[in-house]
Amino acid sequence: MTRLRRFKQVDVFTAVPLKGNALAVILDAEGLTDDEMYAMARWTNLAETAFVLKPASPEADYRVRIFTTDKELPFAGHPTLGTAYALLESGLTPKNPGYLIQECGVGLVQVNQLAEGGQAFSAPPAVLKPLAAEYNDLLASALRGGKIQANVTPVQADMGIIWLVVRMESAQDCLNIKADAAAISQLQTQLGINGVAVYGLHDDNGPANYEVRALIDEDGVLKEDPVTGSANACLARVLKEAGFPDGNNTDQKYLVRQGTKLQRDGRVTVTFIDGEPWIGGDSCTLIDGTLDL
């Protein structure tokens, strides 16, 4: 038997509607089966749909399950921020002033409310693995049109979702990429990664410190994610491991622009607190209502 459930569709990593990454949030998902969650995720046809449940951990404010159209993710960045924003906007009172504790597939994730607005999540730990040289030619084919920075080894970063993080020679080289879906698919299959995250440094007058793109092959179709919390969390871990090669360790904060090639304008703030990266941004609500589900 169906029932009315609170529902929001929010735009994440932007304060301007339609410029970020859309997320569907079912604020009361109790009683839904896995099949029903998958069906709902396919119906929204968004990159991810988040389902809010009662937490099992006494420390957590809520539990979230995150579904794509064909699989469940243990963690993802823009659903983490978007779900926290939607719950706070709906009147949830955190157990602890100033932050929420989210329970998800990777465990407990803290989400802070920022004084300047927006939220930021604590990036989960990541296992970093340099890419073997035997894949260099395949990677170059995958990222045709852009120049990979030769003296920086690409890194597989695994934090539940796995991104191959690749540095380009510049932000413009990042934007110049005309990705090859077949080569991206081969990399995903052979390396067991979810996608390829490329980044390049802007000059001093640029709109951000880094330009980022997240490229994914899904069943032979090349897709680009508009703004990606998990990819930026992996990048933050990679930059820290590299010793902040661009001088960002001075204030341990930098800004990312993502979504440019998709006519979006996502902005991600990355701040290191006690050496740990926090991935932040604004969100805004576009749809607020109920589902009969």
Q: Which residues are catalytic?
A: 48
User: What is the rounded distance in angstroms from the CA atom of residue 202 to the CA atom of residue 95?
Assistant: 40
Exposure on the CB side of residue 38, measured as CA atoms within 13 A: 6
Helices (H), the chain: 34-44, 77-89, 136-142, 171-176, 181-191, 229-241
User: What is the rounded distance in angstroms from the CA atom of residue 60 to the CA atom of residue 113?
Assistant: 15
User: What is the rounded distance in angstroms from the CA atom of residue 136 to the CA atom of residue 152?
Assistant: 12
Type of residue found at 160: G
Closest residue by Cα to residue 230 from 78, 95, 100: 78
| 3-class secondary structure, 73 | strand
Could you tell me which residues come within 8 angstroms of residue 154 by beta carbon, excluding any fewer than 6 positions away?
130, 131, 139, 148, 164, 165, 166, 167
The pairing of beta strand 99-104 with beta strand 119-122: unpaired
Classify burial at 135, counting beta carbons within 10 Å of its beta carbon; exposed 0-12, middle 13-18, buried 19 or more: middle
Closest residue by Cα to residue 124 from 73, 160, 164, 165: 160
